[in-house]
Amino acid sequence: MLDKYDPSTYNHRYAQVNGIRMHYVDENSTSKNALLLCHGWPDLWLGWREQIPFLVQLGYRVIAPSLRGFGETDAPENPSEYGFGTVSKDLAELLDHLEIPTVTVIGHDWGGLVVWRFAQFYPERVNAIASFCTPYMPPHKQEISLEQIVQAVPNFSYQLYLVTPEAEKDINDNVGKFFRRIFRPVNDMVGDPFIDPDTKRLAEGRRDCKSLVPAKVLDYYIEWYTKRGARGGLNWYKQTHNNFHQCKNLDPVIKKKSLMVTAEKDFALPPSMAEGMSKLIPDLQLKSISGSGHWVLWEKPEECNNYLEKFLAGVEPTINNKL
């Protein structure tokens, strides 16, 4: 029986796609209404633990992969083997493997950008799009560096550390502390910034914290980052060149029914970043959740699930959907 806080109770599967072995969780596989859930960094598929059983109860098939570079999925060491085009192909081949023609894609953090881009690379495979925290950003018309991005969007300044060898060592040497520090509700982080302003470190030399994430969940993250290391996930921050060249010819207009949910206290992706999205997404619903930080999926699960239920009922209602 599925216990949302026990990773071993989920239906784990593996597939060879696009040159890598991909791990994914596949629940309620007999349903014809498929949802594809994409996590961010340093998250894993388990970041959707509050949504997976809820969506299954509504009657949906829920597929939550570990994206390239994360968890049990292969993690190429070379950053050249990443980028939104590459990751989108991973997902398209996963759908081919599962013989699923179309899905609704739902993302958070990096996974939010993935679902926007996936809908641009493979519009024929996408019914609708939902993103938590991550606004749609059209592909750049000219190549720019991470430093230029940070200059334009100062709240991304932490990324300048994440691309350094020091960041990889910092996480690998302090995996438990890193996750106990990062997986905290936003109110627990007041006065305790993500990166130490003096030492520029995430975990090394910083105080340990008590995480409110359930023990089995936290243990799973620590286990897989200890086994695989941080490099694969950090490679996602080294993609400005790849993403420009892979995405530059995409149609900037999203022609799918879309849901954007912002989190009031998300300092990495503040709600203000979602302003103006409707200019490029004609069929957009924009919602907000108050009192939550970046980890809105588990800080405010009832609000997230309520928005999803209502949105999905207008896209592809299932026999179990209460709306």
d(CA 269, CA 200): 20
**Is 237 labeled as catalytic in the residue annotation?**
yes
Q: Which residues pair with 65 in a beta bridge?
A: 24
The three-state secondary structure class of 55 is: helix
Q: Which of 10, 82, 225, 237 is catalytic?
A: 237
Q: Which residues pair with 98 in a beta bridge?
A: none
Is residue 75 a contact partner of residue 234, using CB atoms and an 8 Å limit?
no
Q: Which of 23, 39, 108, 294 is catalytic?
A: 294
Q: For residue 187, how far is the Cα from the chain centroid?
A: 22
Structure token digits, residue 288: 């907000």
Q: Which of 26, 109, 170, 266 is catalytic?
A: 109
The three-state secondary structure class of 167 is: helix
Is residue 28 a contact partner of residue 51, using CB atoms and an 8 Å limit?
no
Residue tagged 């699930």 (tokens) = 305
- CA–CA distances in Å: residue 92 to residues 36, 279, 281: 11, 27, 22
DSSP 14-40: EEEETTEEEEEEEESTT-S-EEEEE--
d(CA 290, CA 264): 5
**What is the DSSP secondary structure assignment for residue 158, as one 8-state letter?**
T
**Is 82 labeled as catalytic in the residue annotation?**
no
Helix (H) or strand (E) holding 309: helix 301-313
Question: Catalytic residue positions?
Answer: 109, 237, 294
